[in-house]
Amino acid sequence: MTEPLWQKSATRIDAKIMRFLAGDDVILDREFFLHDIAASRAHVDGLANIGVVTPNERDAIARELDSLAEDFRSGQFVLDERYEDSHSAIETRLTERLGDAGRRVHTGRSRNDQVLVATRLWLKENLARLQTHCRDIARVCLDRAEIEALPLPGYTHLQRAVVSSTAMWFAGFAESFIDDARRARDTLAWIDVNPLGTAAGYGVNLKLDREYTTRALGFARMQVNPVAAQLSRGKFEIAVLDAFASALLDLRRLAWDLSLFTTAEFGFVTLPDEFTTGSSIMPNKRNPDVVELLRASFASVAAARTEIEQLLSLPSGYQRDLQFSKGSIFHGVRHGLMALELVPDLLARMTWNADAMRAAIEPQMYATDVAIEQAVAGVPFRDAYRVAAEAAASAGRGRAAEQSLAARVSPGAHADLRLDELRKRLDLLSA
């Protein structure tokens, strides 16, 4: 490793301790390296605005930062053990290439606000991705809800309850993923504040142009107080993971449905071939592994959240413990996105097996319809309920699932799904 930026004295640097301090930073920091470069550029431009670096120095640094970004993208530059972290790598490169101008970039900045701003930009980018995936999933669900209305048994307690439909099932997940997209959007708006310029957490004796860096980096607002900026590290990561958890929780339940519905016992759904795998020993098997891993992805997000929550038992101000929040947030978000990305295609191409679904609908499932019909005809509901319970099977005989569904007129239910309203909400999110 090159000498740490903070090395001042002749104290020997112990390799094992350095490795422990740096942790996986050079690997992890690759995630937000480009954001770190972009924020460095904004910082230097801001310094030029207040006369701390000359226009020439600013331009030279900007060019060098561009070339570093380019080299990183092409693989020419690798962020590796030569450096302590991405922040050191940037300064080292600028200093190697530009001498004193490079040595000026860190004026009025600390790695504490540097890591905050790079992470913040990364979080925003990934919340935008989350929102897009949720919208894509909702759109497929709405599209299918509009064109398919097959009777599907509706379960409570995993026991046959009342007749439902594929349209109601799809519309239900559409609305849920619209909620999730909205939560991603709202969370993005919530964390859209610029911590750059808060330095180590207590400001600096320079009139930094924080309004400029806020605008240049595309933030909605400045995070005003330096102490507040440090308090938001970890707290904002948790908010982001909560937004992911919301979507992945819906996905977990969707995946559960699919893994049940594809069993021979249910047989309601056939998955697209690409979404199933074979067994290494049982030639007869097609397994829904993808669906199972979709279901499992919630665990990564929940674990990441827990790790950060545990880390945050801290006094105010920067504490090195916070460094460990990077691994968890990157891991949780990566798993979440990898899972959600697959869902639109899966949902667009899975097929319903109408006969198996119909065969699982039994006359008892019309008992609620019967009781409510009688209640409407004047029998007090509790009496109608008892009569229908005793004669559940016979009362329902001769009824058809379609008839039950056509009468399900309560707003939101099968006969009044209000897909237009859901579509409107979805479109509003895309605007």
* Cβ–Cβ < 8 Å for 1, 84: yes
Closer CB to ligand ARG, 197 or 344, in the complex: 197
Which residue is associated with the tokens 């050191």?
Answer: 88
Distance in Å, CB of 111 to ligand ARG, minimum: 4
Q: Which CB sits closer to ligand ARG, 101 or 115?
A: 115
CA atoms within 13 A on the CB side of 264: 4
Q: Please, what is the minimum distance in Å from the beta carbon of residue 26 to ligand ARG?
A: 10
Q: In the complex, what is the shortest distance from the CB of residue 407 to ligand ARG, in angstroms, rounded to a whole number?
A: 60
DSSP letters, 310-365, are HHT---SS--GGGGGHHHHHHHHHHHHHHHHHHHHHHHHH-EE-HHHHHHT--GGG
Q: How far is the CB of 7 from ligand ARG (least distance, A)?
A: 13
Determine how β-strand 221-222 pairs with β-strand 269-270: unpaired
d(CA 241, CA 298): 10
Closest distance of CB 67 from ligand ARG, Å: 24
Tell me the C-alpha distance between 348 and 235, whole Å: 36
Write the Ramachandran bin of 156: left for phi over 0, alpha for psi from -120 to 50, otherwise beta.
Answer: beta
Is residue 311 within 8 A of residue 357, CB to CB? The reply is: no
Half-sphere exposure at residue 403, Cβ-oriented, CA atoms within 13 angstroms: 12
Residue 43 vs 111, nearer CB to ligand ARG: 111
Q: Tell me whether residue 36 or residue 180 sits nearer to ligand ARG (CB atom).
A: 36
Question: Tokens representing 349?
Answer: 């191409």
- The residue (of 111 and 144) whose beta carbon lies closer to ligand ARG is 111
Q: 139 vs 326, which CB is nearer to ligand ARG? A: 326
CB of 206 to ligand ARG, least distance (A): 19
Catalytic residue, from 9, 157, 280, 313: name it.
Answer: 157
Helix residue spans in 2-99 (DSSP H): 15-22, 25-28, 33-49, 55-74, 86-98
CB 360 within 8 A of CB 160: yes
Q: Residue 193 or 329: which CB sits closer to ligand ARG?
A: 329
Minimum CB–partner distance for residue 115 and ligand ARG (Å): 4
Instruction: Report in angstroms the alpha-carbon separations of 211 from 41, 174, 199.
Output: 15, 40, 15
Q: Which is the catalytic residue, given 279, 316, 394, 430? A: 279
* Residue 279 bears catalytic tag: yes
Using alpha carbons, select from 369, 404, 400, 361 the residue that is nearest to residue 160.
Answer: 361
Site residues for ligand ARG per CB under 6 A: 25, 85, 111-112, 115, 318, 320, 322-323, 326
Cite the active site residues.
157, 279
